[in-house]
Structure 1
Amino acid sequence: MLTGFKTLQKNYAKYRCKIARRFLSWHSIEELFPNAEKLHPIPPETVATPEIKQMNCRKRPLQIDNYSLPDIYTAHLSQVIFDPKSNLIFTESGKAIEETKDVG
């Protein structure tokens, strides 16, 4: 019985962050901090990728001619809480910032 509990405890610790992320209230930076200034160190750009059609990375080649960089930015926020274990940022009222969802 003790072995089963230790296994459960170990698995809980391993998947705790993934399970918790499903039940959080997610909000965008724009919604929570409408006046936050976003700094764009890398401007949005589209790059031609004609050679990717010839690559066989998967069962079928990718069918794109261009790749667009995602919107990369930083924002200075105050009155937030950072949880280093899950790489999430929360407001003081417990709302999770959506942009931190897929980091880490």
Structure 2
Amino acid sequence: MVITAPGSRIPPRRCARRWRQDELVLVIYGAVVGRLILGLLSGAVTVGAVSSQVQLLFGTGPCGALTTYSTVSYETLRPAAGGARFFTAADVVAGVVAGLGAAFVGVSLAQELWA
């Protein structure tokens, strides 16, 4: 928790200031990239290219920081508190679809690379 919380909050804030982007967009990008990496790791374990210990290490470490639910939840509920309910609902649907898609792409890519 000590590593994952700052790992999921600090980079989006710094990038948001630097590139003048909405923090929520950057949090979603980070979560999707993390899920792509998790998909790659899962696919690599499935075909025997890496051990499950590698998946455990990177899945709970760097990928866990990128895909932490608390950050996505906080950044999603913040606009809802301001009355942007449609935006919040659309963000949730887009995040789930993009995250699942990235995970499936990662598994497929790993199976093609290492099978």
Q: Which of the five TM-score ranges fits, normalised by the shorter chain?
A: under 0.3
More strand by share: 1
TM-score scaled by structure 1?
0.21
Work out which structure has the larger RCO, using CA pairs closer than 8 Å and 6 or more positions apart in sequence.
2
